[in-house]
Amino acid sequence: MVTPKEGNRFYIGLSATMHDSAIAIVGPSGALLFAEATERYMQRKKAYNCPPDDLIRGPELVAEYCDRDAELVLALTWSQQHLTRLNLMCESGSPLAQTTSKYVEDATWPMPDPAGLFIGLRNSISQAAVNLISSKQIPNPVIVRHYDHHLTHAANAAYTSPFDEGVVAVIDAYGEGGSTGFFHYKQGKLIPVHAEPQTHWSQASLGFFYSQLCAFCGFDPIKGDEWKVMGLAPYGTHDPELYDLLRPMIHVDDLVFTSACSDVEVLRRVRELRSRVRSPESSPFESADLARTGQIIFEEVMTELLNNLHRRGISDNLAMSGGCALNSSFCGQITERTGFKYLHIPSAPGDDGNALGAAYLAFSSDHAGTDQFPGARNPYVGSSVSEKSMKAMLDFGRFKEPTKTSCRVHERAAALLASGKIIGWFQGRAEFGPRALGNRSILADPRSPDVKDRINMQVKFREEFRPFAPSILDEYGPQYFENYQTTPYMERALRFRTEVRTKVPGVVHVDGTGRLQSVRREWNASYYDLIAEFYRLTGVPLILNTSLNVMGRPIVHSLEDALGVLFTTGLDALVVEDYVIEK
């Protein structure tokens, strides 16, 4: 083991939840060097039970981004106290570990029973950092630190925000004794905003409520199908009977979730709704009213909770994280329905983003008063295109002549889009988070009224009701959206102006909204130039953007993954750096 130079520390955040594990690396100056969800490298959706520091991948990343003589601080996203609690709960003598009652199985449906979840979480936390510590490929000295789960969520939201001060809301399915966390962010510090804590497993969780809603609609929250509920909801109408069944299950008391009925009554309602779940063979549209009604309840509850938070008078700036921050349909309404004037949601608000939050917390503990992290708001911090793969593609691909367009690739790509082609766009470093932001994207012309059906049926192989995002040049946002808000990470859906909807039907959802991505040249020059060229050709300053993958698979990681999508779907072309590969 080499001796580290003084002050030469790298901070490696490891998201250690049993799902959505991730790794983030922050350098000695606080600069974000790398961040990636495990599912990308593994090409396995949500990467259940996969350690973030894979025994092969982890040492490779350390060698690439960290100095050989540096000290490594490994920061985990759950506290040591919670791991101790999990160990006690999972002991063989514990009633939880011995059996799971029918009551508990029904109450926690559709998730695995608590014994399985707690054992899985315990194992994930215990395994994280082991590979980096034990690897013979890493000579660096290592320090391990644990942080509270919701605190890592809060750090991800606060330290990536443009705010000098603000209030942070963490809202998810479950943390270390509850499903919410609230903090005052000021001068680089996160100060808890106290609310009555939940010290036991409770169904009164908005994240868990939405997971159950997903399952009631006939989708699978284990696979991350909550997106489908949001997409389906606008096709339905408010159902008073369903509302009366669902609404008492989740209630707001100041900053705490409760139920407006007893646990036994909640269970009765769950069982009744389970009896109505549509069969897999039936049309998803049979669940549209349920999706719409559940989304309405989600929005009511979130609005009440955030207004209660704002009334504490802490700040008009809100930074939000946790799984509920992925509900873009509601996030676009926050500044209209609550007292908050400004909103920030990071590019990875789910548990994958906690890897970055933990790394920032570890850095801050060594550098008191730090409130600025270089590159914190840049989402393009994942893997790059492999030069070896590029050479192999050109040498052995047997393409009809891949066209190298040098620095003018955006012109050729824009011409393809304007002619109606659907293209894959594989550029630079991958985005951190669940959404493709113009480096690992499928792109198309939004003027085509049938482009949604073409992509859903022939490229993504997914349900017809699923919408697509508009990537728009930021300076033209107010011309296309009501109450425009700059939205760099597709984190909120806004309403299109009525007069432009017929211009871009491919990206207007049935309710008149679009989950947009604002694009500025200083954020992503190649993507901005592509959209600007498309605007020059068509007079439309936006394009259709969706992730470069097929349904059920993560966004592509390697060039080989991208080529697989090209040749097994209805994509017309793939643009890789300066090369255009057409079928």
Give the chain's domain count. 3
Q: How many alpha carbons lie under 13 Å from residue 79 in its C-beta half-sphere?
A: 11
Domain shared by 535 and 450, yes or no: yes
Domain shared by 321 and 362, yes or no: no
Domain shared by 219 and 146, yes or no: no
Instruction: Give the CATH number, domain containing residue 274.
Output: 3.30.420.40
Exposed / middle / buried, residue 86 (Cβ in 10 Å: 0-12, 13-18, 19+)? buried
Residue 171 in any domain: the answer is: no
Domain shared by 361 and 333, yes or no: no
Domain shared by 79 and 149, yes or no: yes
Residue where the block lists tokens 């092969």: 56
> Do the beta carbons of residue 153 and residue 183 sit within 8 Å?
no
Instruction: Give the CATH number, domain containing residue 356.
Output: 3.30.420
Kindly list the distances between the CA atom of residue 488 and the CA atoms of 27, 80, 322, 466, 516, in Å, as whole numbers in the listed order: 24, 35, 18, 21, 8
Task: Share the mean pLDDT of the chain.
Answer: 93
pLDDT at residue 399, rounded to an integer: 80
pLDDT at residue 336, rounded to an integer: 97
Residue 447 in any domain: the answer is: yes
Domain shared by 339 and 419, yes or no: no
Residue 188 in any domain: the answer is: no
Instruction: Give the CATH number, domain containing residue 414.
Output: 3.90.870.20
pLDDT at residue 517, rounded to an integer: 98
Residue where the block lists tokens 């646990």: 263
pLDDT at residue 204, rounded to an integer: 85
Query: Alpha-carbon distance 4 to 117, whole Å?
Result: 39
**440: which strand partners?**
426
Tally of CB atoms within 10 A around 136: 6
Domain boundary among 334, 366, 398: 366
Domain shared by 117 and 235, yes or no: no
Q: Is the peptide bond before 402 cis (omega within 30 degrees of 0)?
A: no
Backbone angles phi, psi at 135, to 5 degrees: -65, 130
Q: How many alpha carbons lie under 13 Å from residue 99 in its C-beta half-sphere?
A: 3
Q: Which domain holds residue 151?
A: 9-159+350-366
Answer positive or negative: Cα dihedral of 431, 434, 437, 443: positive
pLDDT of residue 2 exceeding 50: no
Residue 177 in any domain: the answer is: no
Residue 131 in any domain: the answer is: yes
Q: What is the pLDDT of residues 68-85, one digit of tens each?
A: 999 999 999 999 999 999
Portion of the chain with pLDDT greater than 70, in percent: 94
Pick the range with the lowest mean pLDDT from 315-319, 408-412, 473-477, 487-491: 408-412
**251: which strand partners?**
258
b/e 529-560 (16+ beta carbons within 10 angstroms → b): bbbbbbbeebebbbbbbbbbbbeebbbbbbbe
Backbone angles phi, psi at 138, to 5 degrees: -115, 110
The mean pLDDT value for 510-534 works out to 98
Portion of the chain with pLDDT greater than 90, in percent: 87
Domain shared by 461 and 357, yes or no: no
Residue 279 in any domain: the answer is: yes
Query: Alpha-carbon distance 347 to 574, whole Å?
Result: 25
Domain shared by 18 and 53, yes or no: yes
DSSP string, 268-318: HHHHHHHTTPPPTTS-GGGGHHHHHHHHHHHHHHHHHHHHHHHTT-S-SEE
Domain boundary among 366, 401, 425: 366
pLDDT of residue 121 exceeding 70: yes
Length of the chain: 583
Residue 498 in any domain: the answer is: yes
Tokens encoding 522: 């200083």
Terminus-to-terminus CA distance in the chain, angstroms?
Answer: 52
Residue 372 in any domain: the answer is: no
The gap from C-alpha 498 to its chain's centroid, in whole angstroms, comes to: 30
pLDDT at residue 1, rounded to an integer: 45
Domain shared by 340 and 356, yes or no: no
Q: Which residue has the higher pLDDT, 216 or 177?
A: 216
The mean pLDDT value for 542-547 works out to 98
Q: Quick one: pLDDT band at residue 439, thresholds 50, 70, 90?
A: very high
pLDDT of residue 406 exceeding 80: no
pLDDT of residue 487 exceeding 70: yes
Nearby residues of 264 by Cβ (< 8 Å), 6 or more positions away: none
Q: What is the pLDDT of residues 286-295, one digit of tens each?
A: 999 999 999 9
Q: What is the pLDDT of residues 317-344, one digit of tens each?
A: 999 999 999 999 999 999 999 999 999 9
Sequence-ordered alpha helix ranges (H) in 311-369: 328-331, 334-337, 354-366
Domain shared by 534 and 419, yes or no: yes
Tokens encoding 569: 């779907």
Domain shared by 360 and 417, yes or no: no
**Using H for helix, E for strand and C for coil, what is the string for 83-130?**
HHHHHHHCCCCCHHHHCCCHHHHHHHCCCCCHHHHHHHHHHHHHHCCH
